[in-house]
Amino acid sequence: MIDSLDKIKGLRVTVMGLGLNGGGLASARFFAKHGAVVTVTDMKSEKDLEESVLQLKEYPSIRFVLGRHDVKDFESADLVIKNPAVKRAGNVYLDAAKHIESDVSVFLRLTDAPILAVTGSKGKSSTVSALQYGLQGMGFRSFLGGNITISPLDFLSETGKDTPVVLELSSWQLADLRGKKLLKPEVAVITPVMPDHQNWYGSMEAYVADKKLLYADQTPEEFCFCNYDDQWGKIFASETAAQVFWYSIKPLPENLCGAWLDKSGEAFFRLHAQAEPLRLLPNEIMVPGSILKENVMNAAAAIFLFVRKQRGSFADTALSDLELAAKLSAVMKTYPGLEHRLEFFYEQGGVRFYNDTTATVPEATAAALDAFTEKPVLICGGTDKKLDFTPIAEAAGKAKEIFLLAGTGTDLLAPLLEKKNIAYRGPFANLDDLLICVKDCVQAGDRVVFSPGATSFGMFQNEFDRGRQFKIKVQQIFTT
């Protein structure tokens, strides 16, 4: 068992699953850097993994076994680092391993940083992103890792008792921690749970059982946020040993403590049953819609409890509860959102711009329109991937104006809009011409949202390239 860095040197470590998203790469780099004898094995070919292999070239001692696994690499290893996406049950390679860990479990064994952990089905990434933003805004030197594609091993050496760490944990990452008693978050947040990964789990019960590991080893000194609006939240609350705080998109009963949104859109937090609620967020923040606001509210409430508990150690001891809530409100209202997901990124002349390029299906564009209280200017369209564009056409009445970017998907959407007598401008062959036209039409108070509802091939490398180009061109065109 690894409980200090000096025990790594000379260990024979097999990293199962190099991948392209951080975990395997970080593990290989971490163990090679600390003197382990590292073998990296992946079923993908060297060509498929070229980008990750190149990043490890500074460690010539690493041995690569790519395009296959060899059971001998598992039998001979002192330690196997498992990729979360690899099933353990019935795996002949893992069955041959003496000891199995993950990058998250190794991190938890070696750090003494306080942990704020988040799991759930929807909203995990925006919640952890808001947590990190809020902690830094409150003056903490904090770190963010986990399922958000940043391995915590990358920043292990920089952590300590005064550096809170935010972890986004998938059900698979939690499953890899089962029985290890390593995860004891100061604050746990479980975002709404709904059917997901049923092709892997086969039942909701099995899926939820892994989610429960987030709070399995918490104590009454720690906190757990549960969703008051669904059945799973109530089950979690009945099981955890931690202090339960609820969250809801509507006011909570006065005998419960937690956070909620009122009809005006303001967020409030009640520290104790029957206590006078504290105002946690104003009715208007940078990110639109009640779903995103709920995630920001949960992050703010988690930070409130964390800071309050740390008084006397490394947190500001001068703030009263009312002052703490007010300071948090001022910080969190400026949270811009997660990149590419209804991301507020720019304002000019009273016009706000939002980048929602990861909306690659029509339903996501319809949801983006629902997120705004006033009709936004919508930019959409792109490449067809055999989808029905009816959801955009049906929601199009919620847009003040519609600008279409050319593509095979737009060719299918335009007739649907015409059938409903909904006017649109375009299609435009490029973003420059489209945005110049938008500039001539918008006025102070408008919200412009780029939510394509389609893929981006042909005009852009991918949806992320599309979002980056949109942000650059908006700032170029609207500042001239």
286 and 219 within one domain: yes
Annotated binding-site members? 120-126
**Residues 190-211: tens digit of each pLDDT:** 999 877 667 678 888 998 999 9
Q: How many domains in the chain?
A: 3
**259 beta partners:** 247, 269
Last residue of some domain: 279, 305, 333? Answer: 333
320 and 350 within one domain: no
CA 455 to chain centre: 21
**Residues 256-313: tens digit of each pLDDT:** 999 999 998 999 999 998 889 999 999 989 888 888 899 999 999 999 999 999 875 5
* Residue-level pLDDT at 196: 65
- In 3D space, the residue among 315, 253, 321, 263 whose CA is nearest the CA of residue 290 turns out to be 263
**379 beta partners:** 403, 450
CA dist 277 and 322 (Å) reads 10
Averages of pLDDT over runs of 10 residues in the chain (480 residues) are 88 91 86 96 91 92 95 97 87 95 96 97 90 96 91 96 96 95 97 77 89 97 96 96 97 96 94 92 88 94 94 64 95 91 93 93 90 94 90 96 96 97 96 96 96 86 91 93
Range of the domain at 315: 105-333
CA dist 97 and 84 (Å) reads 16
219 and 110 within one domain: yes
324 and 199 within one domain: yes
361 and 271 within one domain: no
425 and 388 within one domain: yes
CA dist 457 and 444 (Å) reads 33
Annotated binding-site members for ATP? 120-126
Whether residue 338 lies inside any domain: the answer is no
* Residue-level pLDDT at 273: 87
* Residue-level pLDDT at 313: 55
* Residue-level pLDDT at 87: 84
Please, are residues 281 and 303 in contact by the beta-carbon 8 Å criterion? no
371 and 297 within one domain: no
